[in-house]
Amino acid sequence: WTVKMAAARLIRTPITRTLRYASSRVNIADTRVEGLKMVAMANKPVNAMSLDFLNELSDSITSLENDKSCKGIVLASDMPNLFMAGLDITEMYQKDEAHLRSFWSSVQNIWLQLNSTRLVYIAAIEGHSPAGGCLISLTADERVMKRGKYQIGLNETKLGIVAPSWFIDSYVSVIGQRQADRLLQLGHMVGPDEALALGMVDAVVDSEVRDHAITMAEPYLKIPATARHMSKMAVRGTMIDRLKQHRKADEDNFVGLIAQDKIQAGLGMYLKSLAKKQ
């Protein structure tokens, strides 16, 4: 999405809907820094990437992008010990093609939006951030993670899945080709200190993660906004354009993969295993 496209979507969206989104699965609050908002994800129990949640998150960010007084966001989680889980399996199990396409389009949308937003964007990672959660954090301008027995990374291969090319683009852009190659093949997730050494996060703190994220945002907010955003897009533009140009093919690949009987059977078994643990 460009800001112009996002604005067009907001115009088509009733104001009451946008406000409801901001107060249901996504909580928005002021911070101690003028123009910087705290956006806290609250999709119980684990901030799984469901269709409705992703649309609400996108609409909430769009509303902030269209607020001239808003200059940046800190993305955090109101779920304890967790930043964001991966894709919501229930969105992919026994769903028709139209639903699968809508769901995958919402995943593409949030990646495109967060990668290209005009807003300064800091990720405050206060817990585990596997798979899709890692992907979302990779789109940030800076990432700070809480020290502890938490893990972050793209672990798709351990689930028998190959990460889409644009997931890989994000990984490579942040940690480099060699480390992305190794971690993707192994499906290996890392703890906070290793993530810092790899460059997957930019800081690790024992506490006050959100406050540290606010501090990290301040130097960005002092830079002329247009020049900063244009520089960001100059770096990320090729990666973003690659998905835009092949978006339909990527969607077709996802639907074709997920609709396979063996994949559906695997998803069903995984959901049953989760139910037994509850």
- What is the total residue count of the chain? 278
Taking the C-alpha atoms of residue 143 and residue 153, their distance in angstroms, rounded to an integer, is 13
* Residue 87 CA: distances (Å) to CA of 53, 114, 269: 11, 17, 16
Taking the C-alpha atoms of residue 68 and residue 135, their distance in angstroms, rounded to an integer, is 27
One-letter amino acid identity for 224? P
In 3D space, the residue among 138, 114, 137 whose CA is nearest the CA of residue 125 turns out to be 137
Q: Which residues carry out catalysis? A: 87, 132, 155-156
Q: Helix axis angle, 51-65 relative to 15-22, nearest 10°? A: 110
Taking the C-alpha atoms of residue 32 and residue 48, their distance in angstroms, rounded to an integer, is 29
